Structure 1
Amino acid sequence: MLVFLSSVPVTLARDLVVVVKSREVEPYEIALKSLRRTLKESGYDPIIGEYLLPEGGQEKSGLLADIRKKDPRLIVTLGSAATSQISKAIKDIPVTFCMVLNPLASGFVRSMDASGNNLTGASLDIPIQAQFEALRSIVPSAKKIGVIYNPQETESVVLQARRIAREMGLELVGAAINSEEKVPEALRALDKSADTLWSVADSTAFSSGSMKVILLHTLQNKIPFMGLSPAFVKAGALLALDADYQEVGAQCGGLAAKILTGDRPSSLPITTPQKATLHVNLNTAEIIGLKIPANRLKGAVVLK
């Protein structure tokens, strides 16, 4: 059944903005609330209709038809699933995505500077330099950072990370794979050439199945592992950075306001978070034999 969460009759005086959520989760609600606030502060008071992305193919077709019928000025997508569905089906209405990790590797945009299509948006991609700084603050001895990746998905990210690492006096050691089954072999190779493990938003390297293998391997071999999110830390990764969802929502709201003003999405660079919270698992630190000074944990969310 198609779920339309809220609807207000359209008037000529107000633009219609359609919001499509991948699912109902608190981070999306935080971002959406911030987006609404930013639009209002920018002088816009659009009618906002909210949809929840349905699971069935027929219902998804119904959602797309309903959006077409309403003919909004702008579509906002929350999460990768909604962004994928909308970007494939709708090419002639501006789309601003929000809360999306690695939109470049996902194929949503051609570059972070210019999408080359009807999309722009606010990504969850915390700048790589900030990630490496966080890793080095918790693991000062880190010199060689390992990463497992599928070149067809995330080679551009890894190339950028390698350059940034070099500029920071670090070395990024890559282990390329083309299937989830290659993860154990990649881990063994990195055991000999890297002293930490870093993660990228790569669905081949970090599937639900391979994650269990990676976490077990890093714990057994006492390797500091930086995950993609707090969920990784709860599962056993040593640390991760988490974006500020209010900031991401505000960035998305700023882009939406520009589009409602008349800017083309293709001319608006994709934004990245400028604020992040460090999450650290002290149980993992103890297991791998790492002592972290208390001053390094100031402002961090600590799991004990």
Structure 2
Amino acid sequence: MLTILFLFKRLRKSITLFLTCIIFITSLFIQTAVASSKILITINQFVNHPALDDAKFGIEAALKDRLLLPERVEIKFGSAQGNIANAVQIAQYHASLDPAFMVAIATPSAQASLRARNNSTLAFLAVTDPIAAGFEHINNIIGVSDAPDISRLLDIAKELLKFQTIGVIFNPGESNSVQTVEMLKKLAATSGIKVQQVAINSSADVKVATQKLIGQVELIYLPKDNLVVSALDNLIQVTSKAKVPVIANDPSLMTKGLLLAYGCDYFESGKQLGNMIADLVEGKELATKIQSAKINKLQINHKVAAALNIHIPKELELQETP
């Protein structure tokens, strides 16, 4: 009798263990099946800095607001750390996954993703000139352009200070930067302002390039150049010591020590693209596949202005974005 009870207990334990294993394996299978059924979106970000980080966060926020993330969408992210070769490798890897959308943040990553993709929809952000980047008349591509309003920025700068020469540092290998510098030179010429430019090949060159401009310019314009922005702390360190104000078309950089910025809100631009992606996922048509950023804002750093003895007119204060 004792032997039978002992065998029964062992049998019950074995059955329990067996059922537990079955449940565990079934759970793994279900999780895998659910994961594989999700819509895959890859993100290839050229470099980590405030503007591009905000753009990524905006995309994710929109997809969450539309109840797609994480329920129906899976995201795989890669940062090229400002390296073109890395951007190409990430694009090739992402293309091999055959995602529904290949999101690319900044022109170098967008161009690399365009060359690598197969059937995926390319969705770009932080591209100043989509035509110059080669995105015009291409099928299966959507995006939000961040073309800077340099004219408005210069007008605001003129309200704050007098200057005859403006300096700019840029990477000639980035089409965004080249286009921006050309626009700056044309606009400055109409006001009799001279542009002093310095080209760089890496973020390590930014500090030396800034030092070259000191003594030659009264103001420095910061283009939407990923190499320059990634070394912005070094640039501001030099300009602050020399009391040379810095302006830009990127409000997300204001905390770094700029005097003023007027331009698109990258978080909102990210949400704009995220909603475009969500519309396509839900089967809706996009009226315009390549759009301009809808929200621009003005920000003035009053602390920097005080340090430079620059007076902020009341009418300009009223135009600031909270």
Other-structure match for 1:285: 305
**Per residue, is there more helix in 1 or in 2?**
2
Of the three residues 238, 246, 255, the one matched with 1:234 is: 255
* Match status 1:298 vs 2:318: yes
Matching of residues 72-87 of structure 1 within 5 Å: 72=100, 75=101, 77=103, 79-80=105-106, 83=110, 86-87=113-114
Q: For residues 129 and 146 of structure 2, what CA distance do their matches in structure 1 show?
A: 9
- Partner SS state of residue 214, structure 1: helix
| 2:121 alignment partner, one of 87, 94, 104 | 94
Q: CA deviation at 1:226?
A: 0.9
The structure whose RCO (Cα within 8 Å, separation 6+) is larger is 1
- 1:191 matches 2:215: yes
Alignment check: 8 A CA contact 2:43 2:78 kept: no
RMSD over aligned Cα atoms: 4.5
Q: How has the CA–CA distance of structure 1 residues 248 and 62 changed in structure 2, closer, same or farther, with 3 Å as cutoff?
A: closer
In 1, distance between residues paired with 2:224 and 2:157? Answer: 17
Identity %: 14
Query: Equivalent residue of 1:92, what SS?
Result: coil
Contact 1:177/1:205, CA 8 A, preserved across alignment: no
Q: Secondary structure at the match of 1:120?
A: strand
Q: How many pairs are equivalent?
A: 269
**In structure 1, distance between residues paired with 2:298 and 2:247:** 11
Change (3 A) 1:86 1:256: farther
Structure-2 separation of matches of 1:189 and 1:110: 33
Out of 163, 167, 180, the residue aligned to residue 146 of structure 1 is 167
Distance 1:215 1:134 in 2: 20
- State the AA in 1 paired with 2:233: K
Name the SS of the counterpart of 1:295 in structure 2: helix
Bigger-Rg structure (1/2): 2
1:52 maps onto 2:76 in alignment:
yes
Match of 2:233 among 212, 227, 242: 212
Question: Whole-Å Cα distance in 2 between the matches of residues 231 and 282 of structure 1?
Answer: 16
After superposition, residues 227-266 of structure 1 pair within 5 angstroms as 227=248, 229-244=250-265, 245-246=267-268, 249-250=271-272, 253-254=275-276
Contact 2:254 2:261 in 1 (8 A): yes
Deviation at 1:204, TM superposition (A): 4.2
SS in 1 for 2:240: helix
Are residue 177 (structure 1) and residue 202 (structure 2) matched?
A: no
Q: TM-score, normalised by structure 1?
A: 0.66
Distance apart, 1:254 and its partner CA: 4.8
2-side partners of 1:8 and 1:184: how far apart? 50
SS class of match (1:161) = helix
Q: Is the 8 A contact 2:44 2:105 kept in 1?
A: yes
Paired amino acid for 1:166:
A
List runs of 5+ in structure 1 lacking aligned partners: 11-15, 41-46
Q: CA offset at residue 230 of structure 1? A: 4.2
Gaps of 5+ in 2: 1-31, 81-85
d(CA) in 2 for partners of 1:116, 1:59? 21
TM-score of the pair, normalised by structure 2 = 0.63
